[in-house]
Amino acid sequence: MRGGIVRCGLLVVLLVMLSSAIAHVQAAPTTSPSQQSNLAPTYRIFATREGLVGRRTANGHIIQPRDRFVALPCWCVLSPKGTDTFKVRLTYNGRSVVVPVWDVGPWNTRDDYWNPNRRYSDLPVGMPMAEAAYYHGYNGGRDEWGRRITLPNGIDIADGTFWDDLGMTRSDYVYVTFLWLGEDPGPGSAIDVSSGQITDDLDPTVTAPEGATTIDNTDSTFDSVGKDWYEETCGLNGQHQWTYSTTDPTKATTAASWQAPDLSPGFYEVKAYIPVCGNPATTSARYRISHDGAITEVTLDQRAAAGQWASLGTYYFGGINNETPQVFLSDLTDDRGLAVRFDAIAWEPRSDTTPPDTQIISISRVENGFQLQWGGNDDMTGVASYDVQVRLLPNGGWTDWKLGTTDLSAWFGPHEGKQFEFRIRARDWAGNVESWETAAVVDTTAVP
C-alpha cells in the first residue's frame, strides 16, 4: 500500500468509526501555554504493523526482523537511507519511542495529513485520507491509486517498534508526534486539545459514591459479550472498556451488563461513571435498567457527561419479583462510529419523603358525559397511582370515583344535565400521598 511494497496480513476492523471525531492531541506541557507554542503537534492515528521482513523500503532499506522505523503516506517526509532526517515520537499505553520515517505508506504517497496546508485541504489536519475514505466514503472510498481502502490506518510501524518498544499486539490507535514540525515534548503524557485532559493521568480522584453499591467493569458481575472491545487508561480504578457505536441493529454485536446481587430492598439512584479520555463519546448511549419486574431505557449523552457520575434515574429494587438488579448497555445508538464507554455503575440508596404533584390536564364533553385527562410528577421514585374524586355542584359532598388507578384518563357520565367538580391526588412508590386540594381542581361549568 506504499510505493513499491504490497501490504499483506492485516487485521480487518469490524466496527465502524467516525473519523472526524478523532481528537488532536499535544504533548503534556511542562511550561505555560504561551511557552509551549513551538512543541511538535501530536495526533491520534490508527496504526498497523509493517512486517514485510526482507523487503525493501521506499528509501532502499532492507527490512530486518524486529526492525525499528515507520511508514507515513507522503514521499515528502521520507528520510534518506540510514538517517533520521524525519522522525516521529510514538506513544501507546504509557510507552514512548522515537523512530525514523523510512518508508512511504500506507495506501497513499501524497497525503501529508499533519500539514496545516495539506494536499487534501477539505479534510481536517490530523485525519489521514485513508481514514476519511474508509469511514465516510471520501474519494469514493478509494486511495490515490483507485484501490478500495479496507483499513483506516495512517501509519505503519515496523515489527521491533510495534511489538517490543510499544508492546502492541494488534492494530490500534497510537499518538504520533511529528518531530520535524517542532520541539520534541519528550515521553510525557499527551493532552487532548479538545478537552485539555492529560491522557495518562485522567480521572485521578475518581471514587465511588459514598454508601453506594458499585460494580466496575473489572468486577466479576460485569458480563461482556462480543469481540470488538478496546481499553483506555482512565476511569474508576484507572481504566475502562469501550467499543464503537452503530445505528444498525444487525451490526450491534457488542454489549455488557452490570449486576448488583446484594442490594437490600429499597429505592436507589442508578448512576454511570463516564470517563473522559479516548475517542469522542456517543451522545446517545442507551442504558436499560431492570428494576422490580420492569425495564426502563434511558438515553445518556456520554460526551456531555464526561468526568461525572451521571444519573440514570431512581428505582425500587428488591420487590416481589426479587430479580437481580441489572443495567445493560450495547453498541446500538443514534450515532455511528463514536465511543460507547463501559466503566462503573453505582446503586446509591435514596430516601423519598416528598409527595407527587398532580393536575387535571383537560376536560371535554364527550357524548352525554365528560372525558377527563390527568397526570403527575414525582421528583424521585415516580407516581405509583392516582385517586380521583367528584362532587355534584353546587353543594354536593366529595365522593370517590377512581381509587389507586394507574389510568391517566377516563369518561364520567352520564351527566343528566348536571354540573360537577373533580379533584385528584397521587401517591409515589415510596408511599408518600399528596394532600387533597381544598378547592375543586376543575369543574364542568365552562366546558362547551
Pairwise CA distance, residues 192 & 185, whole Å: 14
Q: In terms of residues, how long is the chain?
A: 448
The model's pLDDT over 254-310, given as tens digits with 9 standing for 90+, comes to 999 999 988 988 889 999 999 988 777 999 999 999 998 889 999 999 999 999 999
Q: Is 177 exposed, middle or buried (0-12, 13-18, 19+ CB in 10 A)?
A: buried
Tens-place pLDDT, residues 206-262: 899 999 999 999 999 999 999 889 988 889 998 999 999 999 999 999 999 999 988
For all residues of the chain together, what is the average pLDDT?
86
Which run of H or E residues covers position 33? none
Confidence of residue 336 (pLDDT cuts 50, 70, 90): confident
Torsion angle defined by CA atoms of residues 317, 341, 137 and 158, in that order, rounded to the nearest 10 degrees: -150
| pLDDT tens-digit readout, 67-96 | 999 999 999 999 999 999 999 999 988 899
Query: What is the per-residue DSSP string for 59-87?
Result: TSPBPPTT---EEESBGGGPPPTT--SSE
pTM for this model (two decimals) = 0.53
Specify the DSSP element, H or E, that contains 401.
Answer: strand 399-405
For residues 89 and 21, what is the distance between their CA atoms, to the nearest angstrom? Answer: 22
* 23: pLDDT strictly greater than 60: no
Count of alpha carbons within 13 Å of 131, Cβ hemisphere only? 26
Query: What confidence tens digit (pLDDT) does each residue in 102-114 have?
Result: 999 999 999 999 9
Q: How confident is the model at residue 191 (pLDDT cuts 50, 70, 90)?
A: very low
pLDDT of residue 431: 87
With 50 as the cut, is the pLDDT of residue 15 above it?
no
Reply yes or no on whether the pLDDT at 363 is more than 60.
Answer: yes
- Is the pLDDT reported for residue 137 higher than 70? yes
pLDDT for the residue numbered 323 = 80
**DSSP reduced 3-state for 251:** helix
Angle at 234 between CA 232 and CA 237, to 5 degrees: 115
210: CB partners within 8 A, 6+ apart: none
pLDDT for the residue numbered 320? 65
Task: Tell me the C-alpha distance between 309 and 75, whole Å.
Answer: 47
352 touches 432 (CB < 8 A): yes
Residues of the chain above pLDDT 70, percent: 87
What whole-number distance in Å separates Cα of residue 121 and Cα of residue 378? Answer: 53
Alpha-carbon span 416 to 370, nearest angstrom: 11
- In terms of pLDDT, which residue wins out, 262 or 161? 161
pLDDT band at 440 (very low <50, low <70, confident <90, very high): low
* Residue, of 198 and 327, whose pLDDT is higher: 327
Q: Quick one: which H or E segment has residue 136?
A: helix 129-136
Q: What are the pLDDT digits (tens) for 392-416? A: 999 999 999 999 999 999 999 999 9
Which pLDDT score is estimated for 379? 79
Cell of 393: 355542584
Is the pLDDT assigned to residue 200 strictly greater than 50? no
Does 197 have pLDDT greater than 70? no
